[in-house]
Amino acid sequence: MLTHADNVPRRKTWRNRALPLLLFIIAIAGILGWQQFYMVSRIAPPLVGVKIDGSAYALPTKPAQSVLVHFWATWCLPCLTEQDSIEAIAHDHPNTITVAMRSGSDMIVSQHMVRQGLHFAVLNDPDGRISAAWGVHAIPASFIISPDGKIRFVEVGLTSNFALRWRLWLAVLLG
């Protein structure tokens, strides 16, 4: 039978493990909060331009279905890790638009797309104007727009294919 003295070391062990975990969670939440501080929320700002394939693009104010607006860069290692998920989502969800942030000319971005075997729609943002209008300071960054034109979800940093698809589906229910 356990006595009170036997339980004391177990409590200390639990506290010794819980406190670092709690501090880690608080630190991650603080970093994410800082990264998203300047990012737009509520109604999506205008997103108009010419895609690197030469076709015009304008984000609808009231899209028929949810939209993924994904900011990335050719030089961003986490973006490279995530690009296959974005490619798969764009293949299944045509309302996906990506913005290549400060990645050089259209030709440089196009060459990157060919080398990586990517086919998703890209607006080039060589000077960072589009990114600034959306408040993007850290990439990769993803915005999920619901059919009512509101930004429902914002993700900064790596996220999974499943998480983005779940948010796209949920945005339809919320919008």
Question: What's the whole-number mean pLDDT along residues 91-113?
Answer: 97
Give the angle 146-129-57 at the CA atoms, nearest 5°. Answer: 50
Q: What is the pTM of this model?
A: 0.78
- Give the pLDDT band of residue 113 (cuts 50, 70, 90): very high
Average predicted confidence (pLDDT) for the chain: 87
Question: What's the whole-number mean pLDDT along residues 19-45?
Answer: 61
Give a three-class secondary structure readout of the chain: CCCHHHHHHHHHHHHHHHHHHHHHHHHHHHHHHHHHCCCCCEECCCCEEEECCCCEEECCCCCCCCEEEEEECCCCHHHHHHHHHHHHHHHHCCCEEEEEECCCCHHHHHHHHHHHCCCCCEEEECCCHHHHHHCCCCCCEEEEECCCCEEEEEEECCCCHHHHHHHHHHHHHHC
Q: Tell me if 164 sits within 8 A of 85, measured CB to CB.
A: yes
Q: Which residue has the higher pLDDT, 20 or 142?
A: 142
Q: What is the pLDDT of residues 154-163, one digit of tens each?
A: 999 999 999 9
Does 109 have pLDDT greater than 50?
A: yes
Residue keyed to tokens 């109604």: 43
Residue keyed to tokens 């998920």: 85
Does 38 have pLDDT greater than 50?
A: no
